């Protein structure tokens, strides 16, 4: 009995199904496979509870992003909106939590983040509970929860965009809000163009423009002139500590301009590939996957929790538990920040490349959830 055999039995057997009758060795393998599944759920519950406890414990280095949202909301409510690295619509959307004490608002927010992970998988037709369990063991997702980042909410946005891609109004609103919430996801718009969803793409551009202008208008356009410079200064300060191609180039001794050019070239190649694969078999799914990957490549700042977005193409590719779902647990070798260590950044990208190639090259199974038209 090998580890591969057990993994195959665990992924193929129904959840907690009784051991099948047969030879004694087969029954033993099924018992062990069932025990592994139980352990998976046990670890998922314990790890999630521990991360939520740490996130809600009042320490300055936890729930950092949510603290930023909460304080920005308080400033807006006080009539003194200041510098905010996210577009104003994000702060405005979270204003209700700013009305609450920090601890209560944080508790509601973290529960919402956990729910968004489950909702993402459900929207994509994932019904295998083992996928839900292993997903919360991914270090990028745990990092997102601990940091209070909106990454899992962005993942839900991507899932909704895919599920309702043939419903123009829904897709336009979802894609526009997702891009506005995190600007580095702009390659999603080119996915719509590459798949000839012209009307939806035009609607996304319009809805995004209205959302951005409306958000700034609600705070009196405070800081709008300084916003581009704020983003540029932020990138120059922290881009070397993340996991972007720019960070990898800097860790290898390249100049900031050379590292940025290299990432732009790589991103450009991915965008060209997006348009090519969109015309081929299974092109819609593969182009969508490349749009997500291109977003990560173009961004000068990529924190580890950004890689939680890969859960969407993985769930689309295989909505049932398999070895593909286990591969992202290898991200545990990395920290929240790379610290500019080239080997750590390289390992993270090797794992990411393996996941992307796996999802791109293998044909997607027929989904049990129909496309909403």
Instruction: For 14, list phi and psi in degrees, rounded to 5.
Output: -65, 155
pLDDT tens digits for range 126-145: 999 889 988 988 999 989 98
Q: The domain containing residue 184 runs over which residues? A: 33-361
- DSSP-derived secondary structure for 67-88: HHHHHHHHHHHTT-----SS-H
Q: Which of 132, 181, 74, 85 is nearest to 319 (CA)?
A: 132
Q: What is the pLDDT of residue 242?
A: 93
Q: What is the pLDDT of residue 31?
A: 62
Q: What is the pLDDT of residue 87?
A: 82
Domain count, the chain: 1
- DSSP-derived secondary structure for 283-308: HHHHHHHHHHHHHHHH-S---GGGGG
Is 372 a member of any domain? no
Strand positions, DSSP E, the chain? none
Give residue for tokens 């790890």.
47
| Residue pair 122/367 in contact by the 8 Å Cβ criterion | no
pTM here? 0.86
Q: What is the pLDDT of residue 75?
A: 86
Is 315 a member of any domain? yes
Is 78 a member of any domain? yes
Name the token pair of 182. 């995190």
Is 309 a member of any domain? yes
| Residue pair 61/67 in contact by the 8 Å Cβ criterion | no
d(CA 212, CA 299): 20
pLDDT tens digits for range 284-317: 999 999 999 999 999 999 999 999 999 999 999 9
Q: What is the pLDDT of residue 34?
A: 66
Give residue for tokens 């581009």.
228
Is 1 a member of any domain? no
d(CA 241, CA 239): 5
Give residue for tokens 């860790």.
251
| Residue pair 124/159 in contact by the 8 Å Cβ criterion | yes
- Which positions ≥6 away from 96 have C-beta within 8 Å? none
| Residue pair 294/239 in contact by the 8 Å Cβ criterion | no
Q: What residues in the chain have per-residue pLDDT under 70?
A: 1-36, 39-40, 43-44, 50-51, 54-61, 82-83, 364-373
d(CA 39, CA 36): 5
Q: What is the pLDDT of residue 6?
A: 41
Is 80 a member of any domain? yes
Q: What is the pLDDT of residue 18?
A: 43
Give residue for tokens 């959830």.
369
Is 14 a member of any domain? no
Q: What is the pLDDT of residue 224?
A: 82
Q: What is the pLDDT of residue 312?
A: 97
pLDDT tens digits for range 9-40: 444 444 444 444 444 555 665 665 666 677 66
Is 20 a member of any domain? no
Q: What is the pLDDT of residue 364?
A: 59
């Amino acid at each position: 009995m090998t580890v591969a055999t057990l993994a195959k039995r665990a992924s193929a057997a129904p959840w907690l199904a009784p051991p099948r009758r047969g030879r004694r060795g087969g029954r033993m393998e099924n018992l062990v496979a069932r025990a592994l599944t139980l352990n998976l759920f046990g670890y998922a519950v314990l790890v999630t509870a521990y991360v939520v406890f740490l996130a809600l414990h009042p320490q300055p280095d936890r729930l950092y992003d949510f603290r930023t949202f909460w304080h920005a909301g308080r400033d807006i409510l006080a009539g003194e909106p200041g510098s905010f690295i996210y577009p104003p619509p994000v702060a405005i959307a979270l204003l209700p939590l700013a009305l609450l004490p920090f601890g209560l608002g944080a508790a509601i927010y973290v529960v919402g983040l956990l729910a968004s992970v489950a909702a993402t998988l459900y929207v994509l037709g994932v019904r295998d509970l083992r996928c839900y369990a292993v997903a919360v063991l991914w270090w990028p997702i745990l990092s997102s929860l601990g940091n209070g980042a909106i990454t899992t909410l962005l993942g839900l946005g991507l899932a909704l965009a895919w599920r309702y891609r043939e419903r123009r109004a829904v897709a336009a609103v979802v894609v526009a809000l997702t891009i506005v919430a995190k600007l580095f996801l702009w390659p999603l718009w080119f996915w719509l163009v590459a798949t000839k969803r012209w009307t939806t793409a035009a609607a996304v551009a319009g809805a995004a423009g209205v959302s951005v202008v409306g958000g700034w208008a609600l705070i009196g356009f405070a800081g709008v002139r300084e916003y581009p410079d704020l983003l540029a200064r932020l990138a120059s300060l922290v881009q070397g500590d993340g996991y972007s191609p720019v960070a990898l180039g800097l860790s290898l001794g390249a100049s900031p301009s050379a590292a940025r050019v290299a990432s732009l070239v790589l991103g450009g190649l991915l965008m060209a590939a997006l348009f090519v694969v969109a015309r081929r078999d299974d092109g819609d799914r593969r182009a969508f996957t490349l749009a997500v990957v291109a977003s990560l490549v173009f961004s000068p700042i990529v924190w580890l929790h950004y890689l939680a977005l890969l859960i969407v193409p993985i769930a689309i590719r295989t909505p049932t538990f398999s070895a593909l779902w286990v591969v992202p647990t290898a991200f545990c070798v990395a920290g929240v920040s790379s610290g500019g260590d080239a080997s750590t950044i390289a390992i993270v990208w090797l794992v990411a490349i393996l996941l992307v190639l796996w999802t791109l090259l293998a044909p997607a199974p027929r989904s049990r959830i129909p496309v909403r038209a």
